[in-house]
Structure 1
Amino acid sequence: MILRFIAFIGLTLFSILQLMAQETRLLRQPSLGVRTIAFTYGSDIWLSDLNGDKVTRITATPAVESNPVISPDGSLVAFTSNREGNSAVYVVSIGGGTPKRLTWHPAGATVVAWSPDGTEIIYASGRDYAPKPSQRLWKISKDGGNAQLVTSLRGVSASYSPDGSSIVVDVVSRWESEFRGYRGGQNTPLVVLNLQNESEVFIPNEHTIDIQPVWLDDKIYFLSDRQGGVANIWSFQVGDGALHQLTTFDGADVKWLAGRGEQLIFEREGRLHLFHLPSEKVTTLNIHVSGDFPWSEEQWEDVTDDVQFVSLSAKGKRVLMEARGDIFTIPTEYGDIRNITMSPLAADRKPIWSPSGDQIAWFSDEGHANYRLKRSTQDGIKTMADISLGESKYIWEPQWSPDEKYIAFVDDDLRIRLVDMEKGSIRTIGLGGLNIERGSMGLSWSPDSRWLAYSKSGSNNFQQIMVWSADSDSTVALTNEFANAFSATWDLDGKHLYFLGSTDVALGSGWTNTSAMNAEPEYAAYVVNLNASDPSPFELRSDEEKVSDETDKKEADDTEKKKESAGKKEEKLRVEINFVNIDRRIIPLPIPARDYAFVVSGPSGAVFIGERIPNERGMTIHKFTLKERESKEFADKVSRMEVSSDHEKILIQTQGKWNLSDTKGEKATLKPIAVKLDLKLNRSAEWKQMFEEAWRYEKDFFYDPGLHGRNWDEVYQRYAPLIPFVQHRADLNYIFDQMNGELSVGHSFVFGGDFPKVGESKVGLLGADLESASGGWMIKRIYTTENWNPELTSPLDQPGLKVQEGNFIVGVNGRPLSGTENLYERLDGTLDKQTTLHINEKPSFEGSWTIIVKPIGSEVNLR
């Protein structure tokens, strides 16, 4: 492990030195000024001269700062930033300084353009659109104040004509902006709108992707994939409608377009390029960016909340946890937490403890190849095996057999694979049903390691309990297709197997539910007598008085049986199954059918059953014993649990905290475990590993083996060189999105991730349409409350409030408000807080009255 870590450090230093000596890529969203270029890198705003030299930094925050647009006179840069929570419009001097925030509405705003005279900034926002928050174009003074609609058209990007009388608009925000070759209904023509008479001209479009309009003189330049499915620069002659293709790139798309005078600037393959219009010559800029990005530097972080997988040691002394691609062992009482892999360039996953407790195993993609099975001593110091998984690309549900000879798991092709730990060989012993069952087939070894139970979907999507025999290498269905059966587990006595099943799950099964009513299925718990000669565990009982000699004889027989039983315990347990008429030996447990999720074996003769509780976080765990023939609540609010291999300890996570308990009591006796996983987090290494794995995922898991005709190795070569330049999680998502878009498939999204922390928006809304009119803020419309829906409460529509449509808001919390002030700036800090509004029938603070409201964070559902 130490040598691997040292090798990583050396590789990191080498990479840094390489980056310092070459051009910077992943430069995005360029804008042309009079003598300056603005662009984004690492989610900050940067400037250079027109040759790409003299690079300076305008912003330096962990926020996502984007869409820089230089003003017509070249003195200001408008941009978008989420530094205070929601995306807002900011403006800053071209020479730097403190940016000024211009918009405050929590719906967000994205900078689009400047007005030709340089007095106003155009931005896109869905602040008042219904029924969905589709974006429209708004304008606001560069000095701040109130925003006004530019047009009632929807719009996400736009460019004014030189005289400001018309505007060209891209009206639709596409769900998947990187979907290459998309030809669906979201592809609409660019609209040339006359702002005086609202007449429209459509730039010809055959359902192609036409975006990023730029109006210079009498031509509109835009990006289109209408020729060969690759986005290139095209022009549209405003007078006669002539179309002309200016660039003819193959492979990678042109990603961004801006212009000024006789030049266009665009982004392609992470570089910025100038296009000289008279000569149609392309000049690639070699720009070197150097800066400090503290949010991407290596640093210690608490990754406790990132735990993905846990395994409890044989006797409950330690816990294995997978977090952030590393494997930790945590003592349940004494000792220190250890990171046993320390692998920033690899993802180490699914750790499991050997049944005897002296070894651990996990799966690693070290070297960015497919996952391999690794086995080591329990402290991780000595590697004992490194086993190829053959054709298997990923793993779910690894289970170590009690005799420690095998590890079984489910792979990406739903094969149940068996690894021989001594020989290092691997083979397939079964096959699942539906792909969505990966991770939920419930592999379970019998106590003697001779049988493996699991669930598998049949032709009607109902799962059956299957049992594989190691002796005969054959599989038998324990249940039929008339019920949905899953979550099989073995009793330690070797005589019983438990599972869950439902006979009313049909309406909710499959991919969709087309029934008129939302059916909530119930599940019952069952036990199977594995031997035909064994009596039912719930045979009828009756208390009767016995004569003395019979009582004496019974006591003697009981004593003899106990001796025989003790002798048998010293023998090795052997599980025997008689499959003849075994379906007649499936017996429901005498407990109510409920929304059960799983059943796990506990001590001999006992099982734990997890129940989902409506409107509760976590499950309730019930403990059922054959002897008592009843279940009792063992623990509640449980999000995860794991039983030790000796079945005497149970790990329980409840309300975010980890605890250990004995399994033998009627109720859990929770003993807290101190879990704090500190990791020296290297995001650059993580991002490289994530890219490699994402590329493999698409190759290995996409439904079409032909990947919609894409050469996936070429895709790798296109995007892998950009990874060393990632300085922010937004950069990585951008690369992921483009790579994902190469597959040309819908409903394939990229979002989320570990973004640096930024401020939080606290702007409250009033559930009304508000308009700056007559020198004040008029209430045009109040959206009504749906009293039966607590999520749809309108602040101004409450009983007894003296306010109505047509009134003016003339003050907030004791301070007068004029119609030239930004009302939403004044509502900053009012979210979910009692707020005093001053109301009047006229736009005057004098004579006003007050009401108290509690502003909300979004009006979308009210609208």
Structure 2
Amino acid sequence: MRLPLHLRFVVLLAAVFLPPLSAFAQKPTEQTRLLRFPTTNGQQIVFCYAGQLYTVTKEGGTARRLTTGPGYTSFPRFSADGTQLAFTSHYDGNTEVYVMPGEGGPARRLTTTATLARDDISDRMGPNNIVMTWQNTKPLVVFRSRMSSYNAFNGQLYTVGLDAELPHQLPFPRGGFASFSPDDSKLAFNRVFREFRTWKYYRGGMADEVWIHDFKTGQTESLTNDPAQDICPMWGPDNRIYFISDRDGRMNLFATDLATRETKQLTTYKDFDIKFPSIGKDAVVFEQAGHIWRYDLASGQVAQVPIAIKEDFASGRSGQVDAGKHIQSIAAGPDGKRVIAVARGELYSIPGKDGTPRNLTRTSNAHERDAIWSPDGKWIAYNSDATGENELYIRPQDGKGEPQQVTSGADTYYYRPVWSPDSKKLLWGDRLQRLRFIDIPSKAVTLVDQDKWGEFRSYNWSPDSQWIAWERPEENGLPKVYLFSTRDKKPIAVTDD
């Protein structure tokens, strides 16, 4: 009995070997990256890596693991005296607040939160029960929780003691990042919390400010009052409020002197944002470009903390994966004898009846997708990020010879290519809402259309390769069909509004 094609593909590709994940595989001399959510007590830096907490001296070195529980652990924060470490974790299923000794040891659960329907969706606005800070004069952990809200967007600030009694809500309808003054009489805080959203350079009503609340007078005032996003306030021992802001296009570290109200920019990163800073007795630590950095409050100097993690991660070992369970797309060759399949970022040529399967790419450092066979049966066209950006490639369908990069200088994400019937051109859309084609022999690129109302997802060639038809989004939400002559290069609407 002959197995169906898709089942033979599963059997043939059941033993695909995968290289170690780059996030975990490292040489002994390499520094580890993807380090997140740092905190410091002046001597130690605790951070999150691969969902667990690690500690290292402020000078760096080989880190030691502090947590081993199931689930993801994040947002560690040292107590004011540096002896206790509060954090957020999924030890018992729910996202809850825990505490352990600063040097490590058994963790104790401080909160118990009901799981509601809103918790069954992804944490678009960040996890629940995020540890924000500690009070300075009392052993109270401050955390942001949605326990009183059925809206995943809104959260309130609460305090909980080491006795794990009922939390107490701070007097704000909603809150985000926060930091107490040294005597706990005031609180610097954000009202909005959207650091887990992917918005960049946003200006508008959801752009946050740093506010200061006086618990004695009950008054709240804006400290920053800037159109940019000003978040993660940290009350320093030098009578300054530190925070990060995207005023110059990237999230950098700023400080406002509470006496003069003068604001000064302290870092000037141009490549990647600063994220999730926290303050200790003498420094601000933060993540940037996957590393942990330390800003010295006294000298104003910032330096990367060299950190290495040397552990045997199960996810870092090679293993076998059934690629047949991860098929992204499949396209038949023009003669129907073979198909080209995309699975886990690799291109596979699979026989329909007789022959052997071929892995055409074998690129552990690149992701291939959107593979399609040329009408003459000689070439496979596809998208690849081998250069770091999306580009179109073609390669011989028989696996012999090297791939040819067809496009260059990509400035956005590319959608699926479509061959012209004469196998000489490729047509594709992109996220800049353009529709273009390239003449492969000459590498000449022609803009067919660019629309301000939406992206092009439906497009094709005429049988003689002289015309292009596509669906163009319109202002009223109803698309039109257009034609484009490759000779005259003029779009023609063939349907009305």
TM over 0.5: yes
Contact 1:64 1:82 in 2 (8 A): yes
1: CA distance, partners of 2:332 / 2:212? 65
> What is the correspondence of 1:391-540 to structure 2 with a 5 Å cutoff?
394=414, 396-399=416-419, 401=421, 405-412=423-430, 413-419=434-440, 424-427=441-444, 431-432=448-449, 434=451, 436-441=454-459, 443-446=460-463, 449=464, 452=467, 454-457=469-472, 462-464=479-481, 466=483, 468=485, 473=487, 480-482=494-496
TM superposition shift of 1:341? 1.9
Secondary structure in structure 1 of the residue aligned to 2:232: strand
1: CA distance, partners of 2:242 / 2:87? 21
CA 334–172 in structure 1, closer or farther in 2 if over 3 Å, else same: same
> Which residue of structure 2 lines up, in the alignment, with residue 272 of structure 1?
293
TM superposition shift of 1:481? 3.4
1:16 aligns with 2:26: yes
TM superposition shift of 1:23? 4.2
Q: Any idea what the Cα deviations from partners look like across 1:167-215, whole Å, max 9, x if unmatched?
A: 3222111367776665432344433323355333432533343322233
CA 219–459 in structure 1, closer or farther in 2 if over 3 Å, else same: closer
> What is the correspondence of 1:551-566 to structure 2 with a 5 Å cutoff?
none
Contact 1:203 1:241 in 2 (8 A): no
Q: Which amino acid aligns with 1:464?
A: V
Contact 2:207 2:230 in 1 (8 A): yes
2: CA distance, partners of 1:302 / 1:217? 56
> What is the correspondence of 1:122-201 to structure 2 with a 5 Å cutoff?
122-129=142-149, 133-174=153-194, 182-195=202-215, 198-201=218-221
Contact 1:44 1:60 in 2 (8 A): yes
Q: Could you tell me the TM-score, scaled by structure 1's length?
A: 0.46
Return 5+ residue gaps in structure 2 as ranges: 1-17, 120-127
TM superposition shift of 1:361? 1.0
Q: Any idea what the Cα deviations from partners look like across 1:11-36, whole Å, max 9, x if unmatched?
A: x8xx933xx32444554332222642
Secondary structure in structure 1 of the residue aligned to 2:192: coil
CA 338–127 in structure 1, closer or farther in 2 if over 3 Å, else same: farther
1:245 aligns with 2:245: no
Match of 1:221 among 222, 225, 241: 241
> Which residue of structure 1 lines up, in the alignment, with residue 66 of structure 2?
58
Q: Which amino acid aligns with 2:448?
A: L
> Would you say how many aligned residue pairs link Structure 1 and Structure 2?
453
Contact 1:306 1:324 in 2 (8 A): yes
> Which residue of structure 2 lines up, in the alignment, with residue 45 of structure 1?
53
1:234 aligns with 2:255: yes
2: CA distance, partners of 1:217 / 1:372? 54
CA 434–290 in structure 1, closer or farther in 2 if over 3 Å, else same: same
Match of 2:84 among 76, 84, 88: 76
TM superposition shift of 1:390? 6.4
TM superposition shift of 1:66? 1.9
2: CA distance, partners of 1:438 / 1:342? 31
> What is the correspondence of 1:74-113 to structure 2 with a 5 Å cutoff?
74-82=82-90, 87-103=95-111, 104-106=113-115, 107=119, 108-113=128-133
Q: Which amino acid aligns with 1:16?
A: Q
1: CA distance, partners of 2:374 / 2:228? 57
> Which residue of structure 2 lines up, in the alignment, with residue 382 of structure 1?
400
TM superposition shift of 1:59? 2.5
Q: Which amino acid aligns with 2:255?
A: W
2: CA distance, partners of 1:249 / 1:159? 24
- Higher relative helix content: 1
CA 54–455 in structure 1, closer or farther in 2 if over 3 Å, else same: closer
Q: Which amino acid aligns with 1:59?
A: T
2: CA distance, partners of 1:309 / 1:153? 48
Q: CA RMSD in A?
A: 4.1
Q: Any idea what the Cα deviations from partners look like across 1:536-556, whole Å, max 9, x if unmatched?
A: xxxxxxxxxxxxxxxxxxxxx
Contact 1:363 1:372 in 2 (8 A): yes
Secondary structure in structure 2 of the residue aligned to 1:383: coil
Contact 2:345 2:369 in 1 (8 A): yes
1: CA distance, partners of 2:374 / 2:190? 60
> What is the correspondence of 1:287-436 to structure 2 with a 5 Å cutoff?
287-304=307-324, 306-314=326-334, 316-332=336-352, 337-355=357-375, 359-365=378-384, 366-368=386-388, 371-377=391-397, 380-383=398-401, 386=404, 388-389=406-407, 394=414, 396-399=416-419, 401=421, 405-412=423-430, 413-419=434-440, 424-427=441-444, 431-432=448-449, 434=451, 436=454
CA 463–284 in structure 1, closer or farther in 2 if over 3 Å, else same: closer
2: CA distance, partners of 1:201 / 1:37? 32
Secondary structure in structure 2 of the residue aligned to 1:396: coil
TM superposition shift of 1:348? 2.6
TM superposition shift of 1:123? 0.8
CA 434–324 in structure 1, closer or farther in 2 if over 3 Å, else same: farther
CA 56–169 in structure 1, closer or farther in 2 if over 3 Å, else same: same
CA 226–245 in structure 1, closer or farther in 2 if over 3 Å, else same: farther
TM superposition shift of 1:75? 3.3
Contact 1:415 1:430 in 2 (8 A): yes
Contact 1:350 1:398 in 2 (8 A): no
TM superposition shift of 1:298? 4.1
> Which residue of structure 2 lines up, in the alignment, with residue 116 of structure 1?
136
2: CA distance, partners of 1:405 / 1:311? 16
Q: Could you tell me the TM-score, scaled by structure 2's length?
A: 0.74
> Which residue of structure 2 lines up, in the alignment, with residue 210 of structure 1?
230
Return 5+ residue gaps in structure 1 as ranges: 1-7, 483-505, 507-863
1: CA distance, partners of 2:451 / 2:208? 38
Q: Which amino acid aligns with 1:480?
A: V
1: CA distance, partners of 2:42 / 2:403? 64
2: CA distance, partners of 1:258 / 1:216? 10
> Which residue of structure 2 lines up, in the alignment, with residue 756 of structure 1?
none
TM superposition shift of 1:353? 3.2
TM superposition shift of 1:414? 1.1
Secondary structure in structure 1 of the residue aligned to 2:46: strand
TM superposition shift of 1:98? 4.7
1: CA distance, partners of 2:390 / 2:173? 50
Secondary structure in structure 2 of the residue aligned to 1:295: helix
Q: Any idea what the Cα deviations from partners look like across 1:245-286, whole Å, max 9, x if unmatched?
A: 383546466544433444444445523214244x55556543
Secondary structure in structure 2 of the residue aligned to 1:152: coil
CA 396–418 in structure 1, closer or farther in 2 if over 3 Å, else same: farther
Contact 2:456 2:473 in 1 (8 A): no
Contact 2:54 2:63 in 1 (8 A): yes
Contact 1:138 1:150 in 2 (8 A): yes
Contact 1:310 1:321 in 2 (8 A): yes
2: CA distance, partners of 1:233 / 1:311? 53
Contact 1:376 1:382 in 2 (8 A): yes
1: CA distance, partners of 2:99 / 2:45? 16
Q: Any idea what the Cα deviations from partners look like across 1:716-760, whole Å, max 9, x if unmatched?
A: xxxxxxxxxxxxxxxxxxxxxxxxxxxxxxxxxxxxxxxxxxxxx
Secondary structure in structure 2 of the residue aligned to 1:374: strand
Contact 1:271 1:284 in 2 (8 A): yes
> What is the correspondence of 1:777-816 to structure 2 with a 5 Å cutoff?
none
Secondary structure in structure 2 of the residue aligned to 1:211: strand
Q: Which moved more, 1:283-292 or 1:330-339?
A: 330-339
Match of 1:30 among 38, 42, 45: 38
Secondary structure in structure 1 of the residue aligned to 2:315: helix
2: CA distance, partners of 1:195 / 1:351? 62
TM superposition shift of 1:38? 1.4
TM superposition shift of 1:426? 4.6
TM superposition shift of 1:43? 3.7
CA 147–319 in structure 1, closer or farther in 2 if over 3 Å, else same: farther
